[in-house]
Structure 1
Amino acid sequence: MTSSISLAAGALRAAWLPLVAALVLAGCASSAVQAPSTVAPVQFKEQAATARTGAPAQANGAWWRVFNDPVLDELVDRAATRNTSIQQAAARLAEARALARTVDADRSVQVGLNGGASRGQGLDRNQSNRPSTLLNAGASVSYELDLFGKLSGASNAAALDAQSREALLQSAKLLVQAEVAQSYLALRAIDDERTLVRETVEAYRGTLDLTERRERAGDLAELDVARVQTELASTESDALALDRQRAVAEHALAVLLGEVASDFSLPPAAWTSALPSIPAGLPSTVLERRPDVAAAQRTVMAAQARVGVAQNAWFPNIALTGGGGYASTDLGDLFKWSARSWGIGALLSLPILDGGRREAGVQSASAQLDGALASYRTEVLTAFREVEDQLASLRLLDAQSTVQGRAVTSAQRATSLSDSRYRNGLVSQLDLLDARRSELRNRRQALQVKAAQYQATVGLIRALGGGWGEAQPFASTASATRLSSATPSANALE
């Protein structure tokens, strides 16, 4: 008797040993999901010499309005509703949210209805040797106990994936807004340059007319006429090249607006957009609002949650089931009280040997987490680089604009003096052509510097996540109730 009791106790201990081990491991597992942190400098290196004088414009929300251009405002609004990149990002967000709801459904009670019919021998206890038909109808209920956080971890990961997609949607919107603004401003810069070149063409035509009259009068040789004709044709060629650039830029803008290039046109107009001033003392924490950084952060947190899910695969699954209904060989007796049947049960499953499948799952989840962390660090480093690039560009472009302005003033004065002296026969035609060529070159260079200032300003706003006003970290509109209470508030940069 004692021996049998000892054997029974040993068998009992052997049966419960895996469960005890799983419970011990459960105590060691951590389901907390923490936002990654990155050490950020207090301020940007290039910002000290970048701020321009004047009251800084607030670039928040509809940041493109700081350029005070109604046409730009209208184009950005059109792109918001029809741009295909935004539509694709919105579709991916909807897919991620649906997947999150699917994963979260595993934590709910599952209820189903069932019914069926079967025919065979032995179904009717009263006529066991004769074939009969068995009809059944009932309902089933099942619920999996989430004692170790496996289901909640998977739900948290899916919810964080949806938040990452939401941030990527905002990033797509910001990118499209910036590209529309840059494309539009580039078009206006081309319009101004086309006007300048065509004005120069008209000036060369006037000079050619004067040179031809003097050549007919015998004051000048044919060589002088050929020189002016060369300059006129060369400048006309530049004007046609600008026409081609404008057509290509207009077609690219049509694609950003989600419209057919054949049906889209933007008439040439004067460039009247305002150039906003950059405030001094931008804190580096403004990068918290960058949606691409926020998306990378949510991806890291989702990977952390999936590591916990993979670790929880070592713990047992406990499911509660229940069912009830009716069964009868006679359809008329199917729903009688005497035909009722019911049952309840509990199922505990714990794999012991799986060939290393669960360990491989943990290693895979950990590798994905390492990759997500590296991607997050890359996003943060890229964000700082982009801001520093644009700040440096604005600083140097501001200085270049001042110097180039002096060059334009001097070139215009030289052209005026050369034209007057040439008409009075005091200088040669070569002096006039050289002065006019220098003026055109410097004025075009000044326009290109101005265009680069606008492009860099848009680039800075995009690099800062859509403005430089009061920094508001990216906040997902997705429900946060699915996240574990141990999850701290997520800041893109800490």
Structure 2
Amino acid sequence: MQANQNLRAAAARVRQARALRQGAGADRYPELTVGMGPTRQRTSDAGPQGGSTATAWRAQAGISYEADLFGRVASHLDAASADAQQAQALYQSVMLALQADVAQAYFTIRQLDAESMLYAHTVSLRRAGLDLLETRFHEGDITELDVTRARSELASAQSQALEAARQRAAAEHGLALLLGRAPSEFTLAAQELHRISIDIPAGLPSSLLERRPDIAAAERAVAAANARIGEARAAFFPQLILTGAFGYESTDLGDLLRWSSRSFILGPLAGTMLSLPLFDGGRRQSRVDQARARYEEDVALYRQSVLQAFKEVEDGLSALRLLDEQSKTQDVAAASASRAAELSKAQYDAGSISYLEVIDADREVLRHRQTGVRLDGLRAQATVQLIRALGGGWSQS
């Protein structure tokens, strides 16, 4: 969480939204400016002063304030506040997704570790079996066909072990990327995956979904869109802007700060104080229509987010329930396959069956054990997905 670059980018977006909210809040207060400088002016020859030229020095403070008579500033501030809250919720969503991705990448690596250990054990057994068959072949007890088949099965197991190692390296590199580290600088020691057993309380309340950050972000988007409707509607009403300036004015710089040089002005320096729109060809109405359509879009997306959340929770619960039953069934199948392999080897040693049947039985054992390991990995992945779907777990806190 400290080094992931996607999370840092999300945090920067939160700071941007908060800065925009601060800027929107500044509209509630007057704006005060100060300035000083000369003005060079020449009047017309036909004017009352007969074409005189003069320099005027001014040192003034100005003030401007928009009276929020119809809620434009308040609506703009509400929209900016909702945007900031949405950015915060999206940050939490990115963080939750990052935590889930790290957990899933970790369990993927552990599943591949378990498969690698299974392949290593299989390679060891097949190499020992091949040595025994080669000894019996040299003694004339069996034909070369059995030795060739055993050597082929050993090479197949070695190839599968190398494939698992390749997949583990790729998964480890993916985990390093999530952690914000270079793949060449990150290693994770091998460790077998143990079966995860969790106790999910019955009757999880739907209120747990309210804390999901993506749902919170969608709800804040609706609030922001609603506020922007009010901001767009305020454009139909008069806008009152109060302005003023006070300070000193003199044609001589040395007399600029004398008491007799003071001056002031109340009212707009240009334009009017109170403006009322009469006709704009439908521009303001189009903005209102656009704001309302955006609101309807965000409402639909919010409802879709809620439906998607319910689906993900139901998927997680059903997946864990079915995977638990499937794992129990697979354990029985693996035990039966192991017993069948022992019987096949005993029959082969007694000369009642061919070595091909021993190979088939050995393949069944490996296949069932592979399936068991992968089911354990799927249980871990489904657990992470359910925790993510519930916004972090099923604890009421």
TM-score range, shorter chain: over 0.9
Query: In the TM superposition, what is the alpha-carbon distance from 1:121 to its structure 2 partner?
Result: 2.6
Equivalent AA in structure 1 for residue 355 of structure 2: Q
User: 2:390 aligned with 1:461, yes or no?
Assistant: no
- Deviation string 1:58-98 (CA, Å, 9 cap, x unpaired) is xxxxxxxxxxxxxxxxxxxxxx1011111111111111111
What SS is found at the alignment partner of 1:223?
Answer: helix
In structure 1, the partner of 2:311 is: 385
**Is the contact made by 2:196 and 2:379 (CA closer than 8 Å) also made in structure 1?**
no
| Aligned pairs (5 A) from 1:147-162 | 147-162=69-84
In structure 2, the partner of 1:352 is: 278
Query: In the TM superposition, what is the alpha-carbon distance from 1:432 to its structure 2 partner?
Result: 1.8
Equivalent AA in structure 1 for residue 35 of structure 2: N
Rounded to whole Å, the distance in 2 between the matches of 1:128 and 1:270 is 101
What SS is found at the alignment partner of 1:324?
Answer: strand
User: 2:166 aligned with 1:244, yes or no?
Assistant: yes
In structure 2, the partner of 1:368 is: 294
Equivalent AA in structure 2 for residue 255 of structure 1: L
Query: In the TM superposition, what is the alpha-carbon distance from 1:417 to its structure 2 partner?
Result: 2.7
In structure 1, the partner of 2:26 is: 105
- Deviation string 1:179-223 (CA, Å, 9 cap, x unpaired) is 000000110111011001110011111111111111111111111
In structure 1, the partner of 2:253 is: 331
Identity of aligned residues (%): 48
Which of 129, 132, 136 is the matching residue for 2:58?
136
- Deviation string 1:96-135 (CA, Å, 9 cap, x unpaired) is 1111111111111111112221223359xx9875433211
Equivalent AA in structure 1 for residue 23 of structure 2: T
Equivalent AA in structure 1 for residue 4 of structure 2: N
TM-score, normalised by the number of residues in structure 2: 0.95
Query: In the TM superposition, what is the alpha-carbon distance from 1:314 to its structure 2 partner?
Result: 0.6
**Is the contact made by 1:121 and 1:128 (CA closer than 8 Å) also made in structure 2?**
no
Rounded to whole Å, the distance in 1 between the matches of 2:216 and 2:51 is 71
- Deviation string 1:282-312 (CA, Å, 9 cap, x unpaired) is 1122101100000000000100010111111
In structure 1, the partner of 2:177 is: 255
| Aligned pairs (5 A) from 1:21-32 | none
Rounded to whole Å, the distance in 1 between the matches of 2:196 and 2:308 is 28
Gaps in structure 2 of 5+ consecutive residues: none
Query: In the TM superposition, what is the alpha-carbon distance from 1:274 to its structure 2 partner?
Result: 4.7
Which of 340, 343, 348 is the matching residue for 2:262?
340
What SS is found at the alignment partner of 1:81?
Answer: coil
Deviates more, 1:126-135 or 1:282-291: 126-135
In structure 2, the partner of 1:90 is: 11
Off by >4 Å, runs of 4+ in structure 1: 126-130
Query: In the TM superposition, what is the alpha-carbon distance from 1:465 to its structure 2 partner?
Result: 0.5
Which of 275, 286, 301 is the matching residue for 2:223?
301
**Is the contact made by 2:5 and 2:180 (CA closer than 8 Å) also made in structure 1?**
yes
User: 2:378 aligned with 1:452, yes or no?
Assistant: yes
| Aligned pairs (5 A) from 1:27-46 | none
Which of 138, 145, 158 is the matching residue for 1:216?
138
In structure 2, the partner of 1:19 is: none
Aligned-pair Cα RMSD in Å = 1.8
Rounded to whole Å, the distance in 1 between the matches of 2:197 and 2:251 is 86
In structure 2, the partner of 1:270 is: 192
Gaps in structure 1 of 5+ consecutive residues: 1-79, 472-494
Rounded to whole Å, the distance in 2 between the matches of 1:342 and 1:392 is 76
Rounded to whole Å, the distance in 2 between the matches of 1:210 and 1:430 is 16
In structure 2, the partner of 1:399 is: 325
What SS is found at the alignment partner of 1:82?
Answer: coil
User: 2:240 aligned with 1:318, yes or no?
Assistant: yes
Equivalent AA in structure 1 for residue 394 of structure 2: W
Equivalent AA in structure 2 for residue 345 of structure 1: G
What SS is found at the alignment partner of 2:28?
Answer: coil
